[in-house]
Amino acid sequence: MIAKPRRIRERIGAFTIAPMSLEDIPGVMEIENQSFPIPWGESSFRYELLENPYASLFVGRTRADPPVVTFACVWIVDQEMRINNIAVHPRARAQGVGTRFLRFLLEHAASQGCREVTLEVRPSNGAALALYRRAGFIPVGRRKQYYTDTHEDAIVMWRRIEPRTA
Q: What's the pLDDT tens digit per position in 64-81?
A: 888 999 999 999 999 999
Q: How confident is the model at residue 149 (pLDDT cuts 50, 70, 90)?
A: confident
Q: Does 3.40.630.30 match the CATH number of domain 16-160?
A: yes
pLDDT attached to residue 14:
83
120 among known catalytic residues: yes
Between 9 and 84, whose confidence is greater?
Answer: 84
Inter-residue contact 99 to 131 (CB < 8 Å): yes
Residues 6+ away with beta carbon under 8 Å from 44? none
SS3 at position 76: strand
pLDDT at residue 9 greater than cutoff 80:
no
48 among known catalytic residues: no
Residue ranges per structural domain of the chain: 16-160
Q: CA triplet 109, 112, 116: central angle to 5 degrees?
A: 45
**Of 67, 109, 72, nearest in space to 92 by CA:** 67
pTM: 0.87
Q: Among the options 120, 146, 147, 152, which is catalytic?
A: 120
